[in-house]
Structure 1
Amino acid sequence: MFKIKEKKFKFLQKDVNNKIKEIIKKEENPSPTIAQINRGLGHNFYQGDIILNLKQAEFLFSKFNLKRNRRQAINSVTFPTSLWLNRTVPYTFGNSISEERRTRIRQALSFWADQTCLNFREEELFQSNPSETRLQFGKGNGCSSYVGKQEGDQYVSIGEDCDQFGIITHEVAHALGFFHEQSRWDRDQFVSVSLDNIRHGYEDQFDKESEEENDNQQVPYDLGSVMHYSECELIISKSLKCQNVNFDFLDAFSSPDAHNPVLSAKEPYNQKTMGQRIAPSFLDVLLMNKRYMCLDDCKSRGVECKNGGFPKPKDCSQCICPWGFGGKFCDERGSSVGSNSNCGETIKVGISF
């Protein structure tokens, strides 16, 4: 379903890399990453921006089999009971959230609502008869979220510099049940981790889940996921030449030592897709739809989508298309990054098939 001829695949990946460079070059002052925003707060969070509930923390720091069973414990608590099973996610805003920031958060929620079968219902902070469980967006310290549905008002921090579309959709994805992409059990097939380049004390942030506990719904590993760490995440020293905006597709083959990242893609033309915070990728959207069984809504009446696309859950006559494809049936070449197409308009950068 997701296979594309190798030559076309490499051409598309090179094109993706060039598009990302164009976007970055247009930014005189590139937006900081979540790790940069949360610098100094890192030890308060799991994996840099995840808030643990009491049960998760107890499992994590249990004196029994701490290292081996840490992630398995988290997953046993988190899935499947942490999903929003009725597909409706109530939310509210804390008083610290400005109207401008509320608008950006609503845009991020609208993205997930439009691309999946999920619905988001806004409530007043102090309304009578509020939902028993709801997301409460606040301007706390940094960018952070719990993973999956919790009890009561569930805090999502959209702090200073966190109000970027890609970051907000990232934190919302945590709240909907997503961990980081690079913690998948099959990660080592696609990226190498240089432990010597990781800041001291943060090495365990790159632990993997076990195959038994990590259900990825058969969705391929995605270096372009909005949930993936960047190549420089938790780098030990700024002196390491890691964030090279002028990285070139061919340089990856001719100059393998040109930079020293924490994460290195096994296929070098994918190197600069890691850590993008532009928008959720096609595979992020596919996984969310599979996780919440949204694809079942169009099983008997959905349009037949080509090239790995799938019917849009809330309008089965439309297709959601992988990056590089467009048209009603995903059988045409997609439009450029940043254009206003109707199919996959905001999920076009950094896709791995």
Structure 2
Amino acid sequence: MWSAIVVLSLVGCAVAGPPVTRSRKDIEGFRAYLERSRTDDGLRLESRMLVSPKASAWENSGKFQGDILLNDEQADLLMQEYAGVGGRNAYIWPNTKWPSNTIVYDFNNEFTTAQINAIYAAMREITARTCIRFRRRTASDRNYVLVTGRSDGCYANVGYWASMGVHTLNLARAIPGQGCFTHTIIIHEWIHVIGFMHMHSTHNRDTYVRLLWQNMIPGMEYAFERYGTNVVHNMGLPYEYASNMHYDRFGFSRNGQPTMLPIFNDNNQMGQLQFVTGWDWLRVNRHYNCPGAWSTPINAEELSQGTYLHEYKGDEDAALEDQPQGVVVEDLPQEVLVADMPQDLEAEKVSVVEN
């Protein structure tokens, strides 16, 4: 468990050290927010959706920024950066790309066949659009993503952490197409696992959106922190309202009124859940240095206006042909039948996942 002593020492250093823009109250408030996001409050996703019905399921999942599950190291580094301790590069997260562009995964045995098929459908789209591949966990794999179905929401760890062992991607069980089992939400959580934070966190956010602090749930203002390029990198692409990784207008609203509004015309696409944009895929491909990703032309006018693409502008068939052939991956099933599901898979205990 994250040490309260470490956090309190950060507060003391920030107060005693060089001047920072954060007050002691701010730092302690951020600490409390991080602790809440890492503690199971016992609420089901359905309960949170009743309180904030206009927000998406992943925004209502009770974790950091809604659906990011922080490990101890990430929480410590975020706290250092917020408190102004340890220099400007306090929480660069190096080497968090999955080795060989391959995500090792396994399932908890709490999903129906239809739910497994929905998860595989999202994974197949990722492999079709990027050079990311998936491989089922074997007995020798220590580091892998365990896909679980706890009822508290949709959330995931960000990136690959060799020190973690078991990474988590949780999808509260629902009928495919609803709640956490919306196709684009499943992809959203996998993109966290791939290594991405939310679009609204990026350094140039304030140029494109206006925050309405008065409408936010008290104590949740920290969910709208923005970070420097040492954490959130746009990969040379514009800010994108329609990104699959962007908050909608009503995230963490206390009164049903918007908490975030676009400054430019977003064509009513901010926070949409209908599709994953071409730039979403291109950001992933650039992050993993996929073939051809950095040679895809970006219009200079688009860079200045923050517009977006619905479709990938590159030659997708050619891009797929250029994928590396030396990576060992499995062929993801098109459909899983009950008879094909392993019979000896035991459900992981919640305590194991959290540890």
TM-score w.r.t. structure 2 length? 0.63
Q: Structure 2 unaligned segments of length 5 or more: list them.
A: 1-52, 174-178, 300-308, 324-355
**Alpha carbons of structure 1 residues 168 and 203: separation in structure 2 relative to 1, 3 Å:** same
Please list, as runs of the form range in 1=range in 2, the aligned pairs for 1:119-134 lying within 5 A after superposition.
119-123=133-137, 127-129=138-140, 131-134=141-144
Range with bigger deviation, 227-236 or 95-104: 95-104
> Which residue is 2:153 aligned to?
142
Q: Does 1:265 align with 2:288?
A: no
Please list, as runs of the form range in 1=range in 2, the aligned pairs for 1:123-202 lying within 5 A after superposition.
123=137, 127-129=138-140, 131-140=141-150, 141-150=152-161, 151-160=164-173, 161-202=179-220
Q: Say which SS state the counterpart of residue 242 (structure 2) adopts.
A: coil
Q: Does 1:33 align with 2:56?
A: yes
Q: 1:66 aligns with which of 82, 85, 89?
A: 82
> Which residue is 2:321 aligned to?
315
How far apart are the structure 2 equivalents of 1:35 and 1:105?
16
Kindly state the Cα deviation for residue 122 of structure 1 after the two structures are TM-superposed.
2.5
**Alpha carbons of structure 1 residues 205 and 36: separation in structure 2 relative to 1, 3 Å:** closer
How far apart are the structure 1 equivalents of 2:298 and 2:170?
37
**Alpha carbons of structure 1 residues 305 and 209: separation in structure 2 relative to 1, 3 Å:** closer
What is the letter of the counterpart of residue 154 of structure 2? Answer: C
Q: 2:105 aligns with which of 81, 88, 91?
A: 91
What is the letter of the counterpart of residue 92 of structure 1? Answer: D
Kindly state the Cα deviation for residue 264 of structure 1 after the two structures are TM-superposed.
1.0
**Alpha carbons of structure 1 residues 133 and 266: separation in structure 2 relative to 1, 3 Å:** same
> Which residue is 2:64 aligned to?
46
What is the letter of the counterpart of residue 133 of structure 2? Answer: N
**Alpha carbons of structure 1 residues 310 and 35: separation in structure 2 relative to 1, 3 Å:** closer
Q: Does 1:57 align with 2:67?
A: no
Can you list the C-alpha shifts for 1:124-163, whole angstroms capped at 9, x where unaligned? xxx533x232111010121110000133221110113311
Kindly state the Cα deviation for residue 82 of structure 1 after the two structures are TM-superposed.
0.7
TM-score w.r.t. structure 1 length? 0.64
Kindly state the Cα deviation for residue 278 of structure 1 after the two structures are TM-superposed.
2.2
How far apart are the structure 1 equivalents of 2:232 and 2:88?
8
Q: 1:116 aligns with which of 113, 120, 130?
A: 130
Contact 2:202 2:226 in 1 (8 A): yes
Kindly state the Cα deviation for residue 90 of structure 1 after the two structures are TM-superposed.
1.5
> Which residue is 2:116 aligned to?
102
**Aligned pair count?**
250
**Alpha carbons of structure 1 residues 93 and 83: separation in structure 2 relative to 1, 3 Å:** same
Q: 2:286 aligns with which of 287, 290, 294?
A: 290
Kindly state the Cα deviation for residue 267 of structure 1 after the two structures are TM-superposed.
1.5
Contact 2:169 2:189 in 1 (8 A): yes
> Which residue is 1:274 aligned to?
270
**Alpha carbons of structure 1 residues 55 and 95: separation in structure 2 relative to 1, 3 Å:** same
Kindly state the Cα deviation for residue 85 of structure 1 after the two structures are TM-superposed.
3.1
Kindly state the Cα deviation for residue 271 of structure 1 after the two structures are TM-superposed.
5.7
Kindly state the Cα deviation for residue 315 of structure 1 after the two structures are TM-superposed.
2.2
Q: 1:82 aligns with which of 74, 86, 96?
A: 96
Contact 2:285 2:293 in 1 (8 A): no
Can you list the C-alpha shifts for 1:76-107, whole angstroms capped at 9, x where unaligned? 1x3x3110131111111101122111111101
Contact 1:97 1:139 in 2 (8 A): yes
Contact 2:59 2:67 in 1 (8 A): no
What is the letter of the counterpart of residue 114 of structure 1? Answer: A
Compute the RMSD of aligned alpha carbons.
3.0
How far apart are the structure 1 equivalents of 2:228 and 2:167?
27
What is the letter of the counterpart of residue 291 of structure 1? Answer: H
How far apart are the structure 1 equivalents of 2:102 and 2:203?
30
How far apart are the structure 1 equivalents of 2:206 and 2:135?
39
> Which residue is 1:22 aligned to?
none
Give runs of ≥4 in structure 1 deviating > 6 Å: 69-74, 304-308
How far apart are the structure 2 equivalents of 1:179 and 1:69?
22
**Alpha carbons of structure 1 residues 157 and 70: separation in structure 2 relative to 1, 3 Å:** farther
**Alpha carbons of structure 1 residues 214 and 61: separation in structure 2 relative to 1, 3 Å:** closer
Q: Structure 1 unaligned segments of length 5 or more: list them.
A: 1-29, 241-260, 318-353
